[in-house]
Amino acid sequence: MRIIDVAIVGAGFAGLAMSGALRRAGRDDIVVLERADDVGGTWRDNTYPGVACDVPAHLYSLAAHPNAGWSRTFASGSEIQSYLRGVAAREGLGDRLRLRTPLLGAEWDADDAVWRIDTGAAPVVARSLVLACGRLTEPHVPGVPGLESFDGPIFHTARWDHDVDLTGQRVAVVGTGASAVQLVPELARRGAHVTLFQRTPAWIVPRGGGDIADADREHLAANPGALARLRADLYAEGEQRFASRSGDAAASAAARAVALEHLHAQVADPELRAALTPDYAFGCKRVLLSDAFYPAVASDAVTLEPTALAAIDGSTLTAASGRIHDADVLVLATGFASTQQPYADLVRGEDATLAAHWSRGMTSFGSTVVAGFPNLFVLNGPNASLGHNSAVLMAEEQSAYVVRALCERDRRPEPVLRVRPEAEAAYTDEIAAAAASTPWLTGGCRNWYVDDRSGRLTLLWPGTVRAFHERLAGADGSEFEPAPTAVATEPVEAPHPSTPMPRRNR
Question: What is the distance in angstroms between the CA of the first residue and the CA of the last residue of the chain?
Answer: 39
Closest CA to 81 of 67, 101, 92, 63: 67
Phi/psi of residue 46, nearest 5 degrees: -95, 110
Measure the CA–CA gap between 6 and 3, rounded to whole angstroms: 9
What is the structure's pLDDT at 1? 76
**442: phi then psi, degrees, rounded to nearest 5:** -115, 0
Per-residue pLDDT, 506 = 31
The per-residue pLDDT for range 61-88, each reduced to its tens digit, is 999 999 999 999 999 999 999 999 999 9
Strand partners, 130: 8, 377
User: Rounded mean pLDDT of the chain?
Assistant: 94
Helix 249-266 and helix 224-246: axis angle, to 10°? Answer: 100
CATH 3.50.50.60 boundaries in the chain = 4-138+337-419+464-473, 147-203+248-332
214-248: per-residue pLDDT in tens?
Answer: 999 999 999 999 999 999 999 999 999 999 999 99
Domain 147-203+248-332 annotated CATH 3.90.950.10: no
Single out the residue of 332, 337, 308, 335 nearest to residue 150, CA to CA.
Answer: 332
27 neighbors 148 (Cβ within 8 angstroms): no
Residues of the chain with pLDDT under 70: 485-506
pLDDT of residue 62: 98
Q: Is residue 23 exposed (0-12), middle (13-18) or buried (19+ Cβ within 10 Å)?
A: middle
pLDDT of residue 485: 59
pLDDT for 501: 34
The type of residue at 106 is: A
Strands (E), 119-189: 124-131, 154-156, 170-174
- Whether the full predicted model's pTM is greater than 0.85, yes or no, is yes
Residues 386-439: pLDDT tens digits?
Answer: 999 999 999 999 999 999 999 999 999 999 999 999 999 999 999 999 999 999
With CA atoms as reference, report the closest residue to 64 among 37, 88, 29: 88
Architecture of domain 4-138+337-419+464-473: 3-Layer(bba) Sandwich (3.50)
In the prediction, which pLDDT does 134 show? 84
Task: Give the contacts of 300 (CB within 8 A, at least 6 positions apart).
Answer: none
> Torsions phi, psi of 224, nearest 5?
-55, -30
